[in-house]
Amino acid sequence: MASRRTIEEWIAAGRIEVNGKPAHIGQRVGPSDRIRVDGRAIELRHAAAPPRVLLYNKPAGEIVSAADPQGRPSVFERLPRVREGRWIAVGRLDFNTSGLLVFTTSGELAARLMHPRYGVERQYALRVLGRLSEEQVRQLLRGVLLEDGPARFDTVADAGGQGVNHWYHVTLREGRKREVRRMLETLELRVSRLIRLRFGPFALPPGLKRGAWRELGAGALAPILAELLLAPALAPKHPSARPR
């Protein structure tokens, strides 16, 4: 009937009744309860299908959109069909970035993973030409200034490399457009490859080929859902990050 926020407003305004009494936020209802909105009886639908979650290894050269005016390949073209609802991409990866994409049929789960107030950690592997100096690592951890505000990594770890190219693993708790690449560009460094390894509790499965997906079974998914959907919102870890 409406978004969760709107429903909460209706509850606060006294527009929703449960068994003839004003509803309150957090109230539990079951099949035998009678729900009315503005005096109109609402038919409850119980036993909704549990959410589904897919882990997809996105190759570079695909867009995270169902349609593209330029006709580029879409990640959605490779996903299995769902009988009810639709696949929701949890976050995005730009055209040239590869790695983990999480898809779910649950809007609530997607919101929990993406909303900034929950501070869900993302991990990436990035490759640059040469090595980061100690001062550059300190800058990335303290914060650099982007056109849309300050940004910083929570961790930067050397992951080795061969020849002139070097790999680093970084973590952050935001998902702004091209954020990782733009952070390195402030140091006049170009990211030649970028791979997402993890999004919150979901990691890129070892051996999952590029362009392939794997659906999580109910047994593996249940404890993750319980932890995510019951976890309180987090205060921003670095609410006043400032470049120095």
- Could you tell me which of 241, 20, 5, 242 has the C-alpha nearest to residue 115? 5
Beta bridge partners of 93: none
Q: H or E element: which one contains 30? A: none
Q: How many residues does the chain have?
A: 244
- Report the relative pairing of strands 202-203 and 191-199 from DSSP bridges: antiparallel
Residue given tokens 């590029």 in the structure block: 210
- Could you tell me which of 100, 56, 49 has the C-alpha nearest to residue 77? 56
Residues annotated as catalytic are 94
| Cβ-contact 170, 124 below 8 angstroms | yes
Query: Which amino acid does the sequence have at 26?
Result: G
- Could you tell me which of 208, 181, 185, 186 has the C-alpha nearest to residue 197? 208
Report the phi/psi class of residue 179: left, alpha or beta, with left for phi > 0 and alpha for psi in -120 to 50. Answer: alpha
| Cβ-contact 150, 143 below 8 angstroms | yes
* Secondary structure of 147-162 as H, E, C letters: CCEEECCCEEEEEECC
